[in-house]
Amino acid sequence: MPNPVLYFMHEPEICFVWCLFFPLLDMSAKLVLALIVALQVSMCLCAPEPDKELVDKYEEMKATFYKRLLNAYKKAQGAAGPIAEGNPQASMIKEYIESLQADPKMQNAVKVITGMAGELGPAVDRARSGALGVYGEYLRPYIGTYLDHAISGIKPVLDAVLPADE
């Protein structure tokens, strides 16, 4: 197996940062940083792939969670609409929000945040896949049935409080 630190040094961007800040650290911080980098690289190289069934189950639960949130948002927006109609403070808040949406600085900030989210998407997907793989390999045999029973018990409560369908 190749040395993880040497593997790490083949990445040009990371190597540049490493070489830039490495001389500024004291010896104990250097050892800790080297250990963290070595462990991170070795863990990244040997993360197990998640099962297809586990990924499908996760995606289904994530989609249901987003549906619940969207439904709750629509209900809250529908309930707040009639209350805000006759309120002068609500109209001031609405005008302020519209002025913020028209502000070029705010539009640029939204573009930057959207761009960052787009760039971080693949990294988040890899991290999620790695976490699901580690869960499926090491934790699921021990706590999978308990977690499944807990989720099955919580679903009826969530269906009553935050239904996924309207």
42-99 confidence digits (pLDDT tens): 555 567 889 999 999 999 999 999 999 999 988 888 887 777 777 778 778 888 888 8
Q: Distance (Å, rounded) from C-alpha 66 to C-alpha 60? A: 10
Q: Which residues, 6 or more positions from 81, have their beta carbon under 8 angstroms from its beta carbon?
A: none
In this prediction the pTM is 0.62
**Which pLDDT does position 121 carry in this prediction?**
87
6 pLDDT higher than 50 = no
Is residue 140 within 8 A of residue 42, CB to CB? The reply is no
